[in-house]
Structure 1
Amino acid sequence: MLLTIRTILVLTYFFSVALLGSCICLFRPFNPDNTRICGRLFSWGALKLLGVKMTIENKELLDNMPPSVVIANHQSNLDLFVHGGVIPKRCVSVGKKSLKYLPLFGQVYWLAGNIMIDRSKSRESINTMAETTEALKHNNTSIWVFAEGTRNGGNDLLPFKKGAFHMAQQASAPIVPICASAYPKHINLNKWHAGEVIVRILPPIDTHMAEDKDLGTLLEDAHSQMKATIDELNQKVKNRSDRK
């Protein structure tokens, strides 16, 4: 019963924020900071309605962050509410072109300046990523990428795609990993206090001196760091839950 009520409330809140976000974005279309503002709005109210407590660790690492490639683990559609609370300033994301067909949200996503890629058209995708790299290098803009390329459902971190790492190397931009605990496993939306998710920002990974031959090593290092961190966060959430 509580899950049903929460679903209705969150959907109502979602479309209300999408409407507000579209107004904000219409006044300042394609401003790179639109994504952060809209992300905060989505996150703030939705997590309260869901009864989810979010703890953010090392948030200070996002202060005065240079243009970077931000990589995060992708678990479910609720990532919008979890990761929306930690989007850095002047940061846009890379998403599927099909997102633009979602009522209201798709229009907000586009107007916020986010980058849409049609994965079925490889040449178009390559050109879009090249333009994204230029924005990273010259427009003081960071890029948010879910490096797994698909949702993992709160299970083990999937292998990373190479696109984000190519982009970071070509722009000589640092990679900033952001890890969220596996909330699908530790949250029960039928409980008043549904559970906790911990998000940790990791120190930036320098790519300035990396060459193409080091791409695999760079990818593996980032993956191993994030996997170890997520495992640690999962244990931390479990320990806190067991003490209650």
Structure 2
Amino acid sequence: MLYSLRMLLLALHFLLASAFGLLIGLLRPFNRDNSRIFARLYSLPATWLMRIKVKAEVGPLADQPPGCVIVANHQSNFDLFILGRVVPQRTVAIGKKSLGWIPLFGQLFWLGGNVLIDRQNAYQARRAMQQTTRTLQADTSIWIFPEGTRNPSEQLLPFKKGAFHMAIEAGVPIVPVCVSRYTHRLSLNSWRQRTVIVRSLPPIATTGLSLQDLPALIEQCRTQMQHCIDRMEHELPTP
């Protein structure tokens, strides 16, 4: 009963937040701070409905000026609600082109200045990546899930190169953001509150790096994030 009620309320909240966000987006289309506002609209009521306490430890992310590449692990569609609490100013995201077809949300994503990539079209994908490099150089951060898909398991999937390639090309730092494993703790049929830790790591500089350094950079970032996620697992109570 609680599960069905909660899912209904979440669906209604999603529609209302999307409609209100769409109004904001139409009034100030492609504003670089739209995504942060939209993220808060989705996140704050949703985490309350889901009884999730987000413990945000994101000092390095908050202190980093706009114009960096933010990489985070991706567990489920609920990441929108959890990570929405920590999206910094002047940040846009990269998403697959199919997101643009989701009613209300797709239009909101587009009006937020986010980048839609058609991974099946190599030419369009390259043009989109060039656009993101120009975005980074315009003092705007890019948020990417380098695993490329949802992954609720204990081990991070191999990271794709795109985020790190962009960071080297633009000469901007990479800020890793780690989310504790919550999918096996979350129960929408229970009123018990669950804690999710979101922790950012110190920025990884790319100044002076070349594409030859790409494999080592990817491995460094993935290793740091895996160790952080493993530590957070021991800091939370056993589900």
One fold, TM greater than 0.5? yes
- The residue aligned with 2:222 is 223
Determine if contact 1:186/1:238 at 8 Å carries over to the other structure.
no
- TM-score, structure 2 length as denominator? 0.97
Give the drift of 1:140.
Answer: 1.2
Q: Secondary structure at the match of 1:200?
A: strand
Partner in structure 2 of residue 174 of structure 1: 173
Q: How many Å separate the matches in 2 of 1:180 and 1:209?
A: 29
Q: How does 1:1-244 map to 2 (within 5 A)?
A: 1-59=1-59, 61-137=61-137, 139-238=138-237
Contact 2:61 2:175 in 1 (8 A): no
Cα pair 1:154 1:183 within 8 Å, conserved: no
The one-character-per-residue Cα deviations of 1:114-140 (angstroms, maximum 9, x if unpaired) are 100000001110111011101111x21
Contact 2:66 2:90 in 1 (8 A): no
> More displaced, 50-59 or 12-21?
50-59
Amino acid corresponding to residue 13 of structure 2 in structure 1: Y
Q: How many corresponding residue pairs?
A: 239
Mark the CA change 1:140 to 1:15 in structure 2 (over 3 Å): closer, same or farther. same
CA root-mean-square deviation: 1.2
SS of alignment partner, residue 84 of structure 2? helix
**Distance verdict in 2 for CA 1:63–1:79, change over 3 Å:** same
In the alignment, the residues of structure 2 paired with residue 58 and residue 165 of structure 1 have an alpha-carbon distance, to the nearest angstrom, of 21
Name the amino acid aligned to 2:56. Answer: I
Unaligned runs of 5+ in 2: none
Query: Of Structure 1 and Structure 2, which has the larger fraction of its residues in helix?
Result: 1
Partner Cα separation in structure 2 for residue 95 and residue 216 of structure 1? 23
Is the CA contact (8 Å cut-off) linking 2:66 and 2:89 kept in structure 1?
A: no
Contact 1:76–1:154 (CA<8 Å) still a contact in 2?
no
Using the aligned pairs only, state the percent identity. 47
**Distance in 2 (alpha carbons) for counterparts of 1:157 and 1:68:** 22
Q: In the TM superposition, what whole-angstrom CA distance separates every residue of 1:155-198 from its partner, at most 9, and x where no partner exists?
A: 42111000000000000000000000111012222111241110
The amino acid of 2:216's aligned partner reads T
Q: Deviations over 1:189-228 (max 9, x none)?
A: 2111241110001110000121211110000000000001
Where 2:147 maps in the other structure, the secondary structure is coil
Change (3 A) 1:194 1:181: same
Please tell me the residue identity of whatever aligns with 1:229: C
SS in 2 for 1:18: helix
- Distance in 1 separating the partners of 2:64 and 2:161: 26
Say if 2:66 and 2:91, in contact at 8 Å, map to a contact too: no
Can you give the 5+ residue segments of structure 1 that lack an aligned partner in the other structure?
A: none
Do 1:188 and 1:194's aligned partners in 2 also have CA atoms closer than 8 Å? Answer: no
Distance 2:112 2:148 in 1: 21
Runs of 4+ in 1 over 6 A off after TM superposition: none
C-alpha separation between the residues in 2 aligned to 1:104 and 1:59? 32
Q: Which amino acid aligns with 1:8?
A: L
Q: Larger deviation: 56-65 or 125-134?
A: 56-65
